[in-house]
Amino acid sequence: MRASRAGTILIGLASLAVVAWPLGARLGLAGAARPRLLFTFWGMPFEDALYRERYARGYEAVRPGVEVDCRRFGEDLILKYNAWHAVGQGADVMRVRITDYHGMAARGMLEPLDRFIADPDPAVGLSREEIGDFPGHVWAALRVGGGEGVGATGAGRVYALPQDNAQFGLYYNRALFDAHNLEHPDQPVTYPDAGWTWEDLRRAARLLTRRDERGTLARAGIDFTVWSWPFLTFFAQAGGESWSADGLTCLVDGEAGVEALDFLRALAREDRSYAPRFGYDAASGPDALFGRGRTAMYLDGSWRAPALEMQAPELDFAVAPLPRGRRSAVISGSVVWAISSNARHKEEAWRMIRWLTRPEQALAMWDALRVAPPASLRVLGSPAFRTTSGVRRADGSVEVPAMPESMFASRAAWLLHANTPDPATGRAPGFVPVGPYQTEYESAIQRMLETTLDPSSTVPTRAALARVARAVHAVIDRDRAAKGLPPVVRAGPGAAAASTLPP
């Protein structure tokens, strides 16, 4: 047994060495006069022109004497970041998902940026105006831990600057709405808009659903991929908060969680306007069915619009903000630029990150890819945001379709809603779900949905939510035990003052 375990450890260390060695070789120029930044990202091959030419070569042009080694990896780049960190190495400029960000910061993988942000030199530090250009909910999500942070509001340290702010929206097939209204003038259904409520969504989904003579679903009123974001959307709209103030207790099993999960189950069970599909099938998944006109409404992210235009060029669709529940809430994500705590050129890396998040560079990604709006309020309010150029292959064929201004109202205007203050509360509805254990939390939610959304499931709502909370709490307490810390003493389900440390 011991020999086997030792062999496993040796294999693991050897694997780390294999992963890390090329990185170490590339960073061997630390003593050279010409700084060489390792710039890492993931993406599709057609995105290379943006990262290599616009970003890497563009930064070299504004910083003569600096070389940028631009490296594209697969979506498993987080595994490489962890492997590199384990052997004391890291990239200078790192593209990071915000769902991984808090955990990476907690593990000491990221360099704190507060000293750079607060630098009084305007060529180095960020002014309040520059900080204020980032959407407030995205900037707040970047703050980690307590203490006084730098910036307009909030506390905690900042370890990254945001690149974009992908959002979740309500896609709808306008032709199906129009056809229904012609067939049923006594039961008209308006196009979705920012004023829609949960009941508006349920009513429209029921009316737009079609079944054949055998009762088989021929057209769903609404559809979405089974993952954490649909639940987290309605949970927030029901007034839910995922974490206690100290981040040690998951509050998903409170009344807001019950309301959100019951709402999703009602779409499938009571209204029969939604047929959950589990797993992923590119030929018959929710996106493909919407593209073929088999679904009236479809929840998905901002990244889906250009893909649908390529997949179904004749589809007459538009996108609206999410309907509101007890409050308006728009779930969103972000990709951020960070510096490894093991980076060799931290000052220069900061300069590049600061340059990457300027409006001009933020707009460049939107103009090419149109998957997520920039994390820049100036860009969102500019005329340049209303059109995009897209990407063409060398032979002239389209890789990413352009968006003329005539399409802005149907395809991108909805993205402004997340940063528009709600007249009732004065708060913008956008939020980013984050926390040190967010990845584990969202995985537990997905497992719950796969169990409970099946119409044949007999698992009670509260029991399903309690399982999520228990699973997350087990991870937190195991983590604390590994650090020599006691388990958390927690109050009842969803309690606001949910966690305290034992005396």
**282 within domain boundaries:** yes
- In whole angstroms, what is the distance from residue 296 CA to residue 279 CA? 21
Say yes or no to pLDDT of 71 above 90.
Answer: yes
Say yes or no to pLDDT of 29 above 60.
Answer: no
Q: What per-residue confidence (pLDDT) applies to 155? A: 65
Residue 2: pLDDT band with limits 50, 70, 90: very low
- For the chain, helix (H) and strand (E) counts, in that order, are 20, 18
**40 within domain boundaries:** yes
Q: Are residues 343 and 464 in the same domain?
A: no
**404 within domain boundaries:** no
Q: What per-residue confidence (pLDDT) applies to 502? A: 43
Q: Are residues 155 and 264 in the same domain?
A: no
Q: Are residues 341 and 230 in the same domain?
A: no
C-alpha distances in angstroms, 137 versus 324, 347, 422, 432? 18, 27, 14, 7
The residue written with tokens 């960000």 in the block is 101
Q: Are residues 25 and 146 in the same domain?
A: yes
**206 within domain boundaries:** yes
Domain count, the chain: 2
Q: Are residues 55 and 182 in the same domain?
A: no
Share of the chain above pLDDT 70, in %: 88
| pLDDT tens digits, one per residue of 156-181 | 899 999 999 999 999 999 999 999 99
The residue written with tokens 């994390």 in the block is 375
**CA angle at residue 150 from 148 to 151, to 5 degrees?**
125
Dihedral sign (CA 98, 99, 103, 109): negative
- In whole angstroms, what is the distance from residue 122 CA to residue 128 CA? 11
Q: What per-residue confidence (pLDDT) applies to 463? A: 97
Task: Provide the domain limits for residue 85.
Answer: 14-165+334-371+374-378
Q: Are residues 39 and 173 in the same domain?
A: no
**210 within domain boundaries:** yes
* Mean pLDDT, rounded, for 193-218: 95
Q: Are residues 54 and 202 in the same domain?
A: no
Residues in Cβ contact with 109 at an 8 Å cutoff, skipping those fewer than 6 apart: 81, 82, 85, 90, 340, 341
Range with the lowest mean pLDDT among 143-157, 173-187, 378-392, 458-472? 143-157
Helical H runs in 184-327?
Answer: 198-208, 228-237, 255-269, 286-291, 304-311
In terms of pTM, does the model score above 0.85?
yes
Q: Are residues 36 and 54 in the same domain?
A: yes
User: How confident is the prediction for the chain on average, in pLDDT?
Assistant: 89
- CATH number, domain of 309, equals 3.40.190.10
Say yes or no to pLDDT of 150 above 70.
Answer: no
- In whole angstroms, what is the distance from residue 374 CA to residue 357 CA? 9
Say yes or no to pLDDT of 352 above 50.
Answer: yes
| pLDDT tens digits, one per residue of 486-502 | 999 997 775 444 444 44
Rg (CA), the chain: 24
Q: Are residues 465 and 326 in the same domain?
A: yes
Say yes or no to pLDDT of 16 above 70.
Answer: no
Q: What per-residue confidence (pLDDT) applies to 455? A: 85
Q: Are residues 322 and 189 in the same domain?
A: yes
Residue 208: pLDDT band with limits 50, 70, 90: very high
**448 within domain boundaries:** no
Q: Are residues 88 and 150 in the same domain?
A: yes
Say yes or no to pLDDT of 289 above 50.
Answer: yes
| pLDDT tens digits, one per residue of 182-200 | 999 999 999 999 999 999 9
Q: What per-residue confidence (pLDDT) applies to 282? A: 56
Residue pair 389/399 in contact by the 8 Å Cβ criterion: no
Residue 247: pLDDT band with limits 50, 70, 90: confident
Q: What per-residue confidence (pLDDT) applies to 154? A: 45
Look at residue 86 and give its three-state secondary structure: helix
Q: Are residues 144 and 211 in the same domain?
A: no
**471 within domain boundaries:** yes
Residue pair 375/334 in contact by the 8 Å Cβ criterion: yes
- Assign residue 43 a region: left if phi > 0, alpha if psi is -120 to 50, beta otherwise? left
Q: What per-residue confidence (pLDDT) applies to 21? A: 39
Residue type, 182: L
Q: What per-residue confidence (pLDDT) applies to 345? A: 96
Residue 12: pLDDT band with limits 50, 70, 90: very low
**427 within domain boundaries:** no
Name the burial class of residue 429, with classes exposed (0-12), middle (13-18) and buried (19+) by CB atoms within 10 angstroms of its CB.
buried
DSSP letter at 51 equals I
Which of the listed residues 346, 378, 410 is the one where a domain comes to its end? 378
Residues in Cβ contact with 175 at an 8 Å cutoff, skipping those fewer than 6 apart: 293, 316
